[in-house]
Chains A and B, each alone.
Chain A
Amino acid sequence: MKAIAAIFVVCLMPCAALAATPAEIAAGQKIAETTTLGNCDACHMFQGADEAGNIGPVLKDVRAMVPDRKLFYAIIYDEEARNPQTIMPAFGKNQILTPKQINEVIDFMYTK
Chain B
Amino acid sequence: MKLALIVLASLWAAPLAQAASQPDPAADLQGFQGYFLKRFPKVPLAAYVNGPYNFSKSERDQWKQIIEFPPYAFAVADGKTLFDTKFANGKTYASCFPNGGIGIAQTYPMFDAKTGRVVPLGVAINRCRVANGAAKLSLTTGKLADIEAYMTSTSDGKPIDVVVPHDPRALAAYQAGKEYFYSRRGQLNFSCASCHVQAAGMHLRGDVLAPALGLTASFPLYRSSWGDVGTLVRRFIGCNKKVKAEPEAADSTAYRDLAYFMTYMNNGLPIAGPGARP
Contact = CB atoms under 8 A, between A and B. Distances in A.
Asked if A and B touch directly (CB within 8 angstroms), the answer is yes
B202 A89 contact: no
Given A43-B204, A52-B205, A89-B190, 14 more contacts: A51-B205, A54-B202, A54-B203, A55-B199, A55-B202, A55-B204, A55-B209, A87-B190, A87-B198, A90-B189, A94-B188, A94-B189, A96-B187, A96-B188
Interface residues of A, number: 15
21 contacts: A42-B205, A43-B204, A51-B206, A52-B203, A52-B205, A53-B202, A53-B203, A53-B205, A54-B203, A55-B202, A55-B204, A87-B189, A87-B190, A87-B198, A89-B188, A89-B189, A89-B190, A94-B188, A94-B189, A95-B187, A96-B188
A93 to B, nearest CB: 9
A85 to B, nearest CB: 8
A89 B205 CA distance: 16
B81 interface: no
Interface in A26-61: 41-43, 51-55
B194 interface: yes
Interface of chain B, main secondary structure: loop
Contact size range, B: 10 to 19
A87 to B, nearest CB: 4
Interface of A: 41-43, 51-55, 80, 87, 89-90, 94-96
Contacts of A55: 199, 202-204, 209
B187 A89 contact: yes
Interface of B: 187-190, 194-195, 198-199, 202-206, 209
A80 B189 contact: yes
A95 B206 CA distance: 26
Contacts of A80: 189
Contacts of B198: 87
Contacts, number: 37
A53 B205 CA distance: 4
A10 to B, nearest CB: 38
A43 B206 CA distance: 10
Contacts of B205: 41-42, 51-53
A7 B195 CA distance: 51
B258 to A, nearest CB: 19
Contacts of B187: 89, 94-96
B223 to A, nearest CB: 18
Q: Which of B187, B189, B190, B203: most chain A Cβ within 10 A?
A: B189
Contacts of B188: 89, 94, 96
Contacts of B202: 53-55
A84 B205 CA distance: 24
A53 B190 contact: no
A52 B207 CA distance: 10
A96 B130 CA distance: 44
Contact of A42 (B189, B194, B204): B204
Contacts of B189: 80, 87, 89-90, 94
A90 B204 CA distance: 18
B241 to A, nearest CB: 12
A90 B189 CA distance: 7
A40 to B, nearest CB: 11
A72 to B, nearest CB: 19
Nearest to B202: A55
A94 B205 CA distance: 22
Nearest to B204: A53
Contacts of A87: 189-190, 194-195, 198-199
